[in-house]
Amino acid sequence: MIDVLLLLAAYLLGSIPFGYLLVKWVKGIDVRTQGSGNIGMTNVWRVAGAGWGIATLALDISKGVLAVWLAQHFDPTDDLLEVGCGLAALIGNVFSVFLKFKGGKGIGISIGVFFFLLPPESTVGLVLFILAVLATRMISVGSLLGVTGMALMTLYHQKGLTWFSGLALLATALVWYTHRQNLQRIMNGTENKIGKKKK
């Protein structure tokens, strides 16, 4: 019974739409009607300013950390429970019960989940993210390459498919799915770049 409650708690934690709530509080508007329409850090930064964008990222990361920490705290020997809570939190972020099962793109919460569960692999992903953003000036490219690199390193270190590498692959697939519009803009050459003002 405790496992079910922890999974539900992880989903509800992931579902908390901090970006939406912060912009609503600061600006009195629905961030989903502005910019890209996303509730994550990048769009909150664009709509409400850098400080609130960073706050959104920090809170999203915290959701992921807390979800897997709770699982580890109640049963530190159950890897499957940790993985399940991490996945539940990620699903909650992307399909939030508080936003009619719509939500963010899963990047911030993935950082929290995977840096808690897989620090070395996540560090590789972070390095790839930074290099890709420096090379392309596109956050989306960095996010996609970072999460993919993290998943591949997890497969390598875990020597194949395990609960942890399976979670990494599922998270990667979900992040690529949530970035499908970004991928289309990248192919069309219209994706937003850091430092480039919209006409």
Q: Structural domain boundaries of the chain? A: 1-104, 118-199
Distance of CA 196 to the CA centre of its chain: 24
Amino acid letter, 123: T
pLDDT tens for the chain, 199 residues: list them. Answer: 899 999 999 999 999 999 999 999 999 999 999 988 999 999 999 999 999 999 999 999 999 999 999 999 999 999 999 999 999 999 999 999 999 999 999 999 999 999 999 999 999 999 999 999 999 999 999 999 999 999 999 999 999 999 999 999 999 999 999 999 999 999 999 998 887 665 4
Query: Cα(74)–Cα(117) distance, rounded to whole angstroms?
Result: 15
The pTM of the whole model exceeds 0.85: yes
**Quick check: helix, strand or coil at residue 38?**
coil
